[in-house]
Structure formats: C-alpha cells, structure tokens
Amino acid sequence: MKKACAVKVKGDVQRSAFRRFVRQLAKKHNLFGSVENLDDYDEDVMIICEGEAESLQAFLSRLKNQTPEDREETTATITAIEVEELPFSGKFDNFKIIRGPEEIAERLDEGLVIMSKGFKEQKAGFEKMDENFKVLGDRIDGNFDKMDGNFKSLDTKYGAVSEILTRMNKNLEKIVARI
C-alpha cells in the first residue's frame, strides 16, 4: 500500500550533511520526495516522502535510530521527529534536495564530511601498509640473519677446503720444482 508523509526533523540538523544523508536513506528504501531546510534559525528540516508503507516505516525507524555508519554520513543531532500523514500524490519521480539560493556553506560542509570519510579510509589504508612493511621488514631481517649463518657455514666448510687446496698447491709446486 502506498503512503505519503511530511516529516519535520528538529535539532542541529542544518549544515551537517543531513539532507544528503536523508536523500541516500530515502533512495535505499525506494522512496520519492524531497528534503529542505526550514527557515527557522537553522534548526529544522522538512522531508516529504512517498512510497510503500513498509519502506516508509523502515525509513522513519532508521531516522530515529541511526547506526554508527549513519553517524559517519552526517554530524546532525536530532532532538525530535514529527510525522504527519499526507495523501499519496504520486507526483515525485525521484528524491531531491531542495536548496536555497545561499547554501554554498551547506555544500562545503557536505564536501568536508565526504573528505573526512575519505581521509579515515586513507588513514586505515596507510595503517595497514605500515603494518605490512613492518612484517616485510621483520622477514627481511630474518632472512639476513639466515644468510649470515649460511655464509659463516660456508666459510667454515670451504675454509677448510681452501686450506687443503693451498697445501696441495704448495706440494705440487715442490714436486714440479724437483722435476
């Protein structure tokens, strides 16, 4: 069954990449509509969404109970959510963010959230590389120790052969000198 609702989200939800998060969440739940900042001292956001009743319910539940992954996508702090049922219109063909003419700061904030997430992933990648280099370094050090042992063994083994060959050479020189 198709349903629609207006959702007023209160709290510190503007300039926090919250609308971007709402759009992504709505798309995950196959909902259509819009999200926009309300002009009330930078506090509230209005979401209009339509779709299957179960999808709408799952969307609202996720808004109310954000996961740790959700908190990486937005820095918003929600203090209240007011839901009002609306008649289903079917007029939306996607889910869009409605932006005011002076929202360049919001776009920069969204970019910062995205960059921050990328830096976290990069940092984790560098930490893994550091760990791999340490393991590789330990292996190389171990191999150098083995090579040193092998060279010592060769010196010991072939050092005796070298002494024998040197004595044989001197004996041959003596024999040749007598001839």
Give the model's pLDDT for residue 178. 73
Q: How far apart are CA 99 and CA 112, in angstroms?
A: 18
Q: Is the Cβ–Cβ distance between 34 and 97 less than 8 Å? A: yes
Give the model's pLDDT for residue 27. 96
Give the model's pLDDT for residue 87. 94
Give the model's pLDDT for residue 151. 60
**Domain residues of the chain, as ranges?**
2-100, 118-179
User: Which residues in the chain show pLDDT less than 70?
Assistant: 40-42, 101-107, 110, 118-126, 133, 136-137, 140-152, 154-159, 161-162, 165-166, 168, 172, 176, 179
19 assigned to active site? yes
Strand partners of residue 12: 77
Give the model's pLDDT for residue 91. 93
Write down the catalytic residue from 37, 94, 107, 169: 37
Tokens 């050479």 belong to which residue? Answer: 169
List % helix, strand, coil for the chain (3-state, nearest 5).
Answer: 60, 20, 20
Give the model's pLDDT for residue 12. 85
CB atoms within 10 A of CB 21: 23
Pick 2-100's CATH classification: 3.60.150.10, 3.30.70.100, 3.90.1150.10, 3.40.50.410.
Answer: 3.30.70.100
Q: Is the Cβ–Cβ distance between 53 and 86 less than 8 Å? A: no
107 assigned to active site? no
Write down the catalytic residue from 19, 65, 107, 132: 19
